[in-house]
A and B are shown apart, each in its own frame.
Chain A
Amino acid sequence: MTVYNDQTQPLIEYYREKGLLREINGDQDIAKVLKDIVEALEHA
């Protein structure tokens, strides 16, 4: 089964190589996702 070609993929590679990528697991409940985003930003 194919996946939709999300055009952000090249950007993900670009920012990963620059060491600027922060990954958040979006497959958790909403409050946890928000908490992880806030924490990632605070440590940026």
Chain B
Amino acid sequence: MTDLTIVVLLAVSLSALLLWLLIPRIQSSKTTAMQIPSTVNEALAAAKHYGYFPQIRQALSAGDTKYLRETAPRHVAKQALRERRAVALRFLEGLHEDFSNLLTLGRVIAALSPEVSREQETERLILSLKFQMLYVLVWLRLSSGSLPLEQLEHLTGLVGRLATRMNEAITEISARSMGQLSRSVDA
């Protein structure tokens, strides 16, 4: 490639990236850093998908699969397994949403903090990139049927514990920020 081709390609890609970043999202539902006090309630709903964990666990359990295979006609069992896989995929999407909410919370806290650690922010960026990659791989394996559904149990259990801790933390932040707001108003 010539010097010219490289420069032109770089300039075009950078401009495309900038355009994408500059175009306002019409129906953007993303949290902005300024909105934290009003979105605490929304943030409390972070990791909401774990709420369906008992049902999902039941639906994905090895016992259920075994029972289906033994008792139901072959085509019915096949269809049921296909539907269970679709449910598992949707649930995985939900977990992705939970992860994103948690990540957004981390970013908003960082944005509203008077001091930020470079190491912590770099680590979070790497973790989110790694998660995106892993999510794609798990999604592909689940879609192709090469991932046993039971393994999702470990993940859902983790999200459940995570959500409980986050709820506590967000309540704490909310209380602190409201306290600071009222102090600012008093002053």
Do chains A and B interact in one complex?
no
